[in-house]
Amino acid sequence: MEKHSGFGLIRHGLSHHEHWPRMWRNPEPKPRYDVIIVGGGGHGLATAYYLAKEFGVRDVAVVERGWLGGGNTARNTTIVRSNYLWDEAAWLYEHSLKLWETLSQELNYNVMFSQRGVMNLGHTLQDMRDIERRVRANRLNGIDGEVLDVARIREIVPLLDCSCRTRYPILGASWQPRGGVARHDAVAWGYARAADALGVDLLQQTEVTGIRRSMGRVQGVETTRGFLAADTVGVVAAGHAGVIAKMAGLRLPIESHPLQALVSEPLKPVLDTVVMSNAVHGYISQSDKGDLVIGAGIDGYNGYGQRGSYPTIEHTLQAIVELFPSFSRVRMNRQWAGIVDTSPDACPILSATPVGGLFFNCGWGTGGFKATPGSGHVFAATLAAGKAHPLAAPFSLERFVSGRLIDEHGAAGVAH
């Protein structure tokens, strides 16, 4: 692996950038691996990286039916924050946020993590009570957070309509200065490149079509390129988690929905932070290229089609224009959808299953990009030890039977 550096950039510039090496190999599958990861999104790639890097498991394959990071990882609006209400969730997301803070150095790859702050607006008295409660809970957990009044919001985001003429006037906000955004593709590519350098086989264009089992244990996966044996299989397939569960004779408390986003034409810098609103339901930031990145809510029906309905977009843009009247003339460039795996308590599932050696990491729904490093890290620990990492333990499938749900519908109320 060629080490990236400022000097290297200049050197490659001198040869017109024609000699950059390939970032990863495109290997032939081996018949057997110690661990197979199903799904080459950010979470799957991060899992493989930490397995090889921290847990000494280097005989690993990542099996991806399309291209690396082509699922929700490349389709999300990249908001990163850790201000969740309940301890279990806050610890998991904060573990992740800490890893984000050094990720570019760790991977020697610029993931463009930009801690520009994340603001959650409150529009009703109940919103403000929830915000106060959540910010206090966060601070008790050592997570940065402030409650802002309207005067402070105006200072930070001058374009926001903070008047009382709006249909849902802004009353205040929560503010997490360490939150921000990152470059989604770079996260997948950075993990892929670093995992490949540690010996992980990245098998693209390889679809898992079956889970072979015997005597209640997993034997390996059937794929479009033949059978691959492994005693440990970790499924990290987001919207397709249920499809793969079915291959193993399992059901999940998950439903797959379209989640849409859109970007505008590029503008001069106008918004240097992330603004989200649960009540009117929209979230927006501005990318370094200048386009406004806008996220919608899920389409209410189940869908695997990677596209959603027009009324959902219309509803989102109404919210954005209500918040930022000056954006009403901005033209939108592109719109798309991912398939998100929503769970009943808006929290992920990191869990063993009734099939020995078969683990699932899914249910991140509308908000798992921020968790990419932490999810990969604790899932790798879980696969390496064959038992849940302490931060992952509360997120087992068992919670739906015991009733110990971790209700994050408040903190995850807006899809992000």
Partner 1 sequence: MFQLYCPVCREARAEEEFRPKGEARIIRPPVPEAASDEEWADYLYFRTNPKGLHTEQWVHAAGCRKIFLVVRDTVSHEVAGSWALGEAPVVVEGAAEGDSR
Ligand X SMILES: Cc1cc2nc3c(=O)[nH]c(=O)nc-3n(C[C@H](O)[C@H](O)[C@H](O)COP(=O)(O)OP(=O)(O)OC[C@H]3O[C@@H](n4cnc5c(N)ncnc54)[C@H](O)[C@@H]3O)c2cc1C
SS3 state of residue 56: coil
Cβ-based nearer residue to partner 1, 16 or 251: 251
Site for ligand X in 347-376 (CB under 6 A): 364, 366-370
| Residue 66: contacted member of ligand X, partner 1, none (CB under 5 to 8 Å, by partner type) | ligand X
Only segment of 90-98, 174-182, 196-204, 399-407 that touches partner 1 (CB under 8 A): 399-407
CB of 217 to ligand X, least distance (A): 20
CB of 345 to partner 1, least distance (A): 9
* Two tokens, residue 334: 């592109």
Site for partner 1 in 305-364 (CB under 8 A): 305, 307, 309-311, 344
CB of 93 to ligand X, least distance (A): 9
**Binding status of residue 407 toward partner 1 by CB under 8 A:** no
Q: What sign results for the dihedral spanned by CA atoms 126, 127, 132, 137? A: positive
CA distance 394 to 391: 7
**Binding status of residue 79 toward ligand X by CB under 6 A:** yes
CB of 403 to partner 1, least distance (A): 8
**Binding status of residue 120 toward ligand X by CB under 6 A:** no
Q: What is the largest CA-CA distance in the chain?
A: 66
Among 237, 271, 380, 392, the residue binding ligand X under the rule CB under 6 A is 237
**Binding status of residue 302 toward partner 1 by CB under 8 A:** yes
Could you tell me whether strands 217-223 and 208-214 are parallel, antiparallel, or unpaired per DSSP bridges? antiparallel
CB of 305 to partner 1, least distance (A): 5
Residue with structure tokens 């039977």?
Answer: 401
CB of 288 to ligand X, least distance (A): 16
**183 near 59, Cβ under 8 Å?**
no
**379 near 48, Cβ under 8 Å?**
no
Picking from 85, 100, 82, 80, the residue whose alpha carbon sits closest to that of residue 144 is 82
Residues 230-254: b if buried by 16+ CB within 10 A, e if exposed: bbbbbbbbbbbbbebbebbebebbb
Cβ-based nearer residue to partner 1, 133 or 404: 404
Among 259, 323, 352, 411, the residue binding ligand X under the rule CB under 6 A is 259
Helices 125-140 and 87-101: crossing angle in degrees, nearest 10, is 70
Burial of 14: CB neighbours in 10 Å, binned 0-12, 13-18, 19+: exposed
Cβ-based nearer residue to ligand X, 40 or 394: 40
CB of 80 to ligand X, least distance (A): 6
**157 near 276, Cβ under 8 Å?**
no
| Residue 253: contacted member of ligand X, partner 1, none (CB under 5 to 8 Å, by partner type) | partner 1
**377 near 97, Cβ under 8 Å?**
no
Residues that bind ligand X (CB under 6 A): 38-44, 63-66, 70-73, 75-79, 207-208, 236-238, 240, 244, 259-261, 295, 338, 340, 364, 366-370, 416
Residues that bind partner 1 (CB under 8 A): 240, 242-243, 251-256, 300-305, 307, 309-311, 344, 400-403
